[in-house]
Amino acid sequence: MQSIQKKLMSLQPIQTEVIVWYKKNKRDLPWRNTTDPYKIMLSEIMLQQTQVPRVIEKYNLFLQNFPTVEDLAATSTTNVLTLWSGLGYNRRALNLHKAAKMIVEVYDKKVPRAAEQLQTLAGIGNYTASAIQAFAYNKRTAVLDINIKRIVSRVYATVNNEQLKEIAEYLVPQTKSRIWNNAMMDIGALHCRPQPSCNGCPFSKICKWNNNNSRIEIKASKQSKFIGSNRYYRGTILKILAKKESINSTLKQIIDYFPKQLQQPEQIRQAIVQLQNEEFIQFKKKNYSLNDKLNGRNS
């Protein structure tokens, strides 16, 4: 840490610059108007691999239907998947539902504060745990996604993951973690994009990318093709079984649901087997359906 302190020198000027910039330029997002840990958790799980504009509508819709974690835990998985439709990565919806149930049953209806406890919840890893801690509890921690990594790597000319984490953590002001991490998110969205717009960025004066033409940065890995992937088939199968008209379907009915060019029986069977093994779906009376356990019914 001492070497990082020497590298960064005095933090106060840049911390002040970033916070002043944020107060003038912050995005108006619904989950920033609350510190309710449940609402923060909901937004963070939705924001995993989904763009902000698509999340806003679904976030508001979920809160209209499930205003508390108890409401979410008490509903059926079918209801959750139906409301989730359009966000993609349906496994996140299943994990969200599981997490809500565990919060009610194990954590006395309160979203945990400690990272170790947060990470016992389905779908919550190190990043999401840090986000909940920062935005709900104002804990001094860096919410280190690829966008914030890009900022740090460009400003301080490093792609070393340990250094990136150490610098990012050290930059966070002692009592302003919520503001700081939101500011970093907005700088990533408005300035430090893959093709950066450095004019007006609060880091521009000290940024090695901008001033020294360093061109050192960490890059996001390219996402694999979605349509026709295993993830596509898994998500679509769950979507089929969440619909009232196809809540119980034979293998042939599931295959027929797909567009003709994507009716790949072997890939669909493989996805079904995976979902069965993970207890997301079940096979009863020659039909597939969502697992009774997920809906809180007796098998």
Residues assigned a catalytic role: 44
Confirm if 216 and 153 have CB atoms less than 8 A apart. Answer: yes
- CA nearest 238: which of 282, 204, 194? 282
Q: Whole-angstrom Cα distance, residue 59 to residue 39?
A: 9
Own/partner pairs for 74-78, CB < 8 Å, 24+ apart?
Answer: 76/295, 76/296, 77/242, 77/290, 77/291, 77/294, 77/295, 78/242, 78/247, 78/290, 78/295
Q: Is the dihedral of CA 63, 64, 69, 75 positive or negative?
A: negative
Beta bridge partners of 290: 281
CA dihedral (160, 166, 169, 172) in degrees, to 10, reads -90
- CA nearest 289: which of 274, 277, 272? 272
Q: Whole-angstrom Cα distance, residue 77 to residue 63?
A: 16
Residue given tokens 């669909």 in the structure block: 268
**Residue 286: Cβ-neighbour burial (10 angstroms; 0-12, 13-18, 19+):** exposed
